[in-house]
Structure 1
């Protein structure tokens, strides 16, 4: 009887996890086939990041629950101070080189160098920072509702000119 009960519980959790997975994929669904090429992207200033960053939303809606994809472009010698996000994210380098560091304060002596084709994952609420030396473009794959919380509130560019 205990074995039967344990099996039923495992099956219930498995079915629930599969349903959640299907919901995430459905929320990312698109109604049209599209190609995205870096040379023809309509870049916009990215208000959540320090001045100079540009973004282009490819699919999904970062303000709503579900997966979204966005390109982020950073000018040379750019830094994103230490911050966290509410959900896991995956970053893939498409152009240039970035350094990804972990901790509550940007420290250029402690980052991992990542070249074109490299990806990294960041767990929810994990303090991290990024910098580069040359223009860089990354693909951000994340879950909404997306936000950024700077570990030092003075680093937050929102509401500043």
Structure 2
């Protein structure tokens, strides 16, 4: 009988040890992985560096800190971001709608290229460009922080209009 009790105790100890290891791995996985579904995205007002009306959600990292970040912008219909540049490469994926981008120091809607849902664009560091929508669109931007935007014309910067 004692042998059976010892075997049962060893099996129970093994089960407990295995359970603790699995829980530790699950905790580790939670810290190492980010999985986002559309229903758990928290939208807030866009940053003061963008014209009013935009909503944003930071998915990963922080655009204000050094390192990789991912954020989404929900832009209303007829939204415009005047010519500007960024201090790092900008990677844009269109989640919904059509996002228009053009190159140069002057806004010219006729030269803006429409990037449809599922499309992707990269603007290299310092590239002067502009963007606009015709209908509500959601884009995802990822890049290296700290992130910033410098308008070609300081009068176009919403931070200067306060």
Scaled by the length of structure 2, the TM-score of the pair is 0.76
> In proportion to residue count, which structure has more helix?
2
Q: Secondary structure at the match of 2:110?
A: coil
Q: Which residue of 2 aligns with 1:31?
A: 31
- Find the aligned partners of 1:160 and 1:59 in 2 and give their Cα distance: 30
Unaligned residue ranges in structure 1 (runs of 5+)? 1-29
Offset of residue 151 of structure 1? 0.5
Size of the aligned set, in residue pairs, is 132
Partner of 1:100: 101
Q: Any gaps of 5 or more consecutive residues in structure 2?
A: 1-29
Aligned equivalents of 2:145 and 2:128: distance in 1?
18
- Please tell me whether the aligned partners of residues 78 and 134 of structure 2 are also in contact (alpha carbons under 8 angstroms): yes
CA, structure 1 residues 89+95, in 2 after alignment: closer, same or farther (shift >3 Å)?
Answer: same
Partner of 2:113: 112
Q: Which structure has the larger Rg over C-alpha atoms?
A: 2
Does the 8 Å contact 2:88/2:144 carry over to 1? yes
TM-score norm. by structure 1 comes to 0.77
CA RMSD of aligned residues (A): 1.5
